Chain A
């Protein structure tokens, strides 16, 4: 898979407090906020029917199953983290065309959500959303 450019956010899963308490283990049943994991929009036909990255013109998003490794780079600072698929998401089509930039480094459309443990390696949780690139090596 060629590096895919877009936006990264974070989500909670597994045992959790507050509004996250109902999150559960995700589509793979293994998701934990403290693990290096992520949600991917194309884990199955059923997942893709919900997330619909194609509706935003996002191509090159390969079908990958639970446990597959992706590497996400924060385009604001170059920090990189490797994670495995644990859930279906983000719901790309709900934010079609959304664009996030750090200076001239920009990403459009939501392509990956990281767990808090993973996101906080490459950015502060309080940033919420960052431009990113995603690859497999």
Chain B
């Protein structure tokens, strides 16, 4: 608990323009950082420290986000915010129209000081309808999804084996889970990892 409080205070300080930056958050590895989190939110309830939606405006380090349920969120990016958009990236790669999930600390003024932001991230299941050059066509809940293989980024995990860049074992008709990044306002995504059963 003590660790959580320290970390949250540091993050809030950074969000409010204090001198504490990313280095002030310590050297927590990603898994350790999540282990350090604790929550008082009960099972089944909405998490006030989480937000989702699409970016309607970027003003300085602030993202104005319209939630899918129409709730508006102000999300502040700090020096300590980790940003994912197909891979770990920087704030300048975030654009109006992007979708996101964000986790952080809700400040007294209602702003969410972001600890992590996942931009355009999707994690969907589907059947492979066809395989093309550097892309897969997926049937996902009645929709056709075009999933692009991104050189030096996309990876395949075949039944729990270590991730490899070789997509040649993916076959038409096979069920897959694809973690990737959506191209806003299209039916296309870039593949981060595709999980395929044996």
Which A positions have Cβ atoms within 8 angstroms of B?
9-12, 14-23, 32-37, 67, 69, 74, 76-79, 81-84, 86, 91, 94-102, 108, 116-118, 120-126, 128-129
**Binding site of A, secondary structure by majority: helix, strand, loop or mixed?**
mixed
State whether A14 touches B47 (Cβ < 8 A): no
Bound state CA distance, A98 and B30, in angstroms? 24
* B114 CB, nearest partner CB in chain A, Å: 11
- Chain B interface: which size bin? 35 or more
Q: What number of residue pairs across chains A and B have CB atoms under 8 A from each other?
A: 161
Partner of B46, one of A15, A17, A35, A78: A35
State whether B197 touches A95 (Cβ < 8 A): yes
State whether B44 touches A83 (Cβ < 8 A): yes
Partner of A67, one of B44, B123, B193: B44
Contacts A9-B177, A79-B37 aside, 15 further interface pairs with beta carbons under 8 A come to: A11-B123, A22-B141, A23-B141, A74-B31, A83-B44, A84-B43, A98-B159, A98-B195, A108-B160, A117-B50, A120-B103, A121-B103, A124-B84, A128-B193, A129-B177
CB-based nearest B residue for A83: B43
Which are the 5 A-B pairs with shortest beta-carbon distances?
A77-B35, A15-B68, A84-B44, A99-B160, A82-B43
